[in-house]
Amino acid sequence: MTTFLIDLSPGDMKRRLGDALGIYVDAMRYPRGTEDQRASMWLEHIRRRGWTAVAAVEVPDHAVDDPDAPPLAAAPMLGVAYGYCGAPDQWWQQQVVQGLERGGADRAEIAELTNDYFELTEVHIHPRAQGRGLGEALVRRLLAGRTEPQVLLSTPEVDEEANRAWRLYRRLGFTDVIRGYHFAGDPRPFAILGRDLPL
Ligand SMILES: CC(C)(COP(=O)(O)OP(=O)(O)OC[C@H]1O[C@@H](n2cnc3c(N)ncnc32)[C@H](O)[C@@H]1OP(=O)(O)O)[C@@H](O)C(=O)NCCC(=O)NCCS
């Protein structure tokens, strides 16, 4: 099998939504059925300004140079990542602003962090394809050429930052924006991380 990284157009994402959500649920080890709750949200995100998505797909070696092979956008998916420009009417930004306020940040600091950023919303690699650099490759592709001065993301807190997501973000130079934050309606603590762009 040969692995390719591809850009997903809005149409590709709509067509492949079931596969992308399947990877998300398997990667996060969420119960089956979670994808049904998430589908409308992922579709709504496609309409947000600056929405960009990438995927890792795999193709049998014999099909790589076959002109009659199906397009890469239809090939089996190993991973998916997407994001969009942050904006004040987005729930996530409102939560982050609240967290910054609670942490004592002043207006100018909050504005500097939230006025112009790319939100790295999702990055997931199927468990069978994790640990070979695909997550990093997807994040690099997604962030390449972004015009925003920074990127922000949230990730669940984990003891000692000991999981692949944390290792990836630290390796890519993400630093703490807020730690131990509780998003409304979620009992788990999250970290908000960020870094300047370009990567
Ligand atoms: C987090 C996640 C996206 C990272 O993707 P990944 O492809 O597994 O990991 P990376 O791209 O960081 O790969 C690096 C790992 O591959 C290994 N690797 C092997 N070959 C490699 C190569 N050619 N280049 C880079 N890394 C390579 C590295 O040693 C490293 O191992 P380590 O994580 O044990 O230190 C993925 O593990 C995942 O989907 N996890 C579950 C869902 C999740 O947590 N999503 C993020 C929520 S915020």
Using a 6 Å cutoff on CB, does residue 136 contact ligand 1? yes
Tokens of 17: 């939504």
Going from the Cα of 136 to the center of ligand 1, the distance in angstroms, rounded, reads: 7
Q: Determine phi and psi for 58, rounding to 5 degrees.
A: -125, 145
Can you name the residues that pair with 181 across neighbouring β-strands? Answer: 190
Number of domains in the chain: 1
196 pLDDT higher than 90:
yes
The amino acid at 139: V
Q: Select from 146, 158, 188, 153 the least CA-distant residue to 169.
A: 153
Give 56-104 pLDDT, tens digit per residue: 999 999 998 888 888 899 999 999 999 999 999 999 999 999 999 999 9
Domain harbouring 165, CATH code: 3.40.630.30
From 29, 152, 167, 168, mutation site for ligand 1 pocket: most ligand atoms within 8 A of C-beta: 168
Give 125-179 pLDDT, tens digit per residue: 999 999 999 999 999 999 998 999 999 999 999 999 999 999 999 999 999 999 9
**pLDDT for res 70:** 87
29 CB contacts (<8 Å, ≥6 apart)? none
Q: Give the whole-angstrom CA distance, residue 115 versus residue 113.
A: 6
Residue at token pair 């990127």? 151
190 CB contacts (<8 Å, ≥6 apart)? 154, 155, 156, 157, 180, 181, 182, 183
**pLDDT for res 106:** 96
Estimate to the nearest angstrom the gap between the alpha carbon of 78 and the chain centroid: 14
Q: Give the whole-angstrom CA distance, residue 58 versus residue 166.
A: 25
- Pairing of β 118-125 and β 150-156: parallel
**pLDDT for res 199:** 95
Q: What is the mean pLDDT of residues 35-64?
A: 96
Percent of the chain with pLDDT over 90: 94
From 78, 125, 174, 188, mutation site for ligand 1 pocket: most ligand atoms within 8 A of C-beta: 125
Q: Give the whole-angstrom CA distance, residue 170 versus residue 98.
A: 24
12 pLDDT higher than 90:
yes
Using a 6 Å cutoff on CB, does residue 144 contact ligand 1? no
Q: Which atom of ligand 1 is nearest to the CA of 171?
A: 12
Going from the Cα of 162 to the center of ligand 1, the distance in angstroms, rounded, reads: 12
Using a 6 Å cutoff on CB, does residue 126 contact ligand 1? no
Using a 6 Å cutoff on CB, does residue 132 contact ligand 1? yes
Q: Select from 95, 100, 94 the least CA-distant residue to 186.
A: 95
**pLDDT for res 26:** 97
Q: Select from 94, 77, 80, 91 the least CA-distant residue to 28.
A: 80
Domain with 68 in it: 2-196
Using a 6 Å cutoff on CB, does residue 134 contact ligand 1? yes
**pLDDT for res 154:** 98
Q: Which atom of ligand 1 is nearest to the CA of 81?
A: 3
**pLDDT for res 166:** 98
